[in-house]
Amino acid sequence: MHVEIQSFFFILIFTHHQLKPYNTFMLPAVCDCFVQIESENEVPQSLADGLFDGNHLILGGGSNVLFVSDFHGTIVQMCTQGIDVLEEDGERVRLSVAAGVSWADFVDYCVSHHYYGVENLIGIPGLVGSCPVQNIGAYGVEVKDVISKVIGYRLASKKAFELTNEECRFGYRSSIFKTDWKNDVLITRVEFVLSKKEHFSISYQGVVKELEENNLPLTIENLAATVKAVRDRKLPDITKIGCAGSFFKNPIVDVAERDRLLQQVPNLVFYPAGEGRAKLAAGQLIDLAGLKGVRHGDAGVYPHQALVIVNYGNASGTEICDFYRFVQKNVFEKFGITIEPEVNVF
Ligand code: EPU
């Protein structure tokens, strides 16, 4: 049941709202209050009215959350729309994008305008306002490579902020919004600087191979379509199977730890991750622990990509939670490595 208790032109407030349609795991959970904001102009008043004063969660596309139980507090979703060109010359374009724009629509817009930089990030679910939070990344690109500014409000102080790329302190699946400022920001806009000159990131071997095999010249449309095809083969279609993309982060370990594991797993996959550190592939570790395709009731490890945990239909949040801990425990017992969720658990 949901009751609409207020409906102004640009802000909708519901009580006892069902969250199943708002989380890609498709888990049933109810929140006390659900707020949709359709105009940035409403934000200062909402802050002044104390909308964010209690327990709250800013929800993007719901593709990175696991609701283990009902949410006692207010869930806020930014539904603002608009992509504005702030400036451009022959080389670059600077865009300001509203937080509620879907990431998929933004990538489509950039590909069709031949603005280079986000084509490798095609197919990632969610909204533009969420992309800086965990610095989304795929196929050799991270969104930090193209973000110039993040704009929004601090919730405790109710003050507006504008952060430069450097001030966002981006790292692997991390930023200031996930660390020091966690749960204390409402992002309203993200600014991007994209190249208007042909410029590709083709470090991911599988994508290059597929372009060659299909005799496709390297163009922004072909690269985007190829990344999408590679991605679709490995990851579930979130409109059909409940999941949240990669459930775990790839663990970053000391090179000494990597060398120890190399004795155990000679074909260990790893990437450089800064001075003396290496990033391992959690999917490979889960796979080698024999868990790919393993299922407990309706919770399971996706058979085509072990990094993904899926809800085959009627798993509860608690069942998904128990299952991810089972995966974590098995990987630790086999390899002595702790894999941490990328997904936020509530
Ligand atoms: N691997 C296995 N078994 C598996 C899965 C992976 O052996 O079941 C091995 C692969 O063979 C490969 C290595 O692990 O050598 C890495 O696999 P892959 O290239 O598929 O990437 P990933 O590390 O598993 C990351 C991102 C994905 C992103 C891909 C492609 C994280 C947590 N995940 O996955 O992001 O699409 O790279 O760049 O960093 C997401 O965040 O939701 C997401 C899908």
Q: What does the pLDDT look like over 80-119, one tens digit per residue?
A: 999 999 999 999 999 999 999 999 999 999 999 999 999 9
Residue 158 CA to ligand 1 centre (angstroms) = 38
CA 52 – ligand 1 centroid, Å: 36
- Compute the average pLDDT of residues 5-31: 86
Q: Are 64 and 344 in contact (CB under 8 A)?
A: yes
Nearest residue to 31 via CA among 52, 55, 9, 11: 55
Looking at every residue in the chain, the average pLDDT score rounds to 95
Instruction: Give the atom of ligand 1 at the shortest distance from the alpha carbon of 124.
Output: 42
Pairing mode, strands 160-164 and 141-142: unpaired
Given a cut of 80, is residue 2 above it in pLDDT?
no
CA 307 – ligand 1 centroid, Å: 7
Asked whether the predicted pLDDT for residue 7 surpasses 80, the reply is no
- The residue to mutate among 237, 270, 305, 307, having the most atoms of ligand 1 within 8 angstroms of its beta carbon, is 307
Q: What is the pTM of this model?
A: 0.94
Q: Is 138 in the pocket of ligand 1 (CB under 6 A)?
A: yes
From 273, 311, 280, 281, select the one nearest 295 (Cα to Cα): 311
- CB of 135 within 6 A of ligand 1: the answer is no
**CB 245 near ligand 1, within 6 Å:** yes
Q: How confident is the model at residue 10 (pLDDT cuts 50, 70, 90)?
A: confident
Residue 164 forms beta bridges with which residues?
149
**Percentage of the chain with pLDDT > 90?**
92
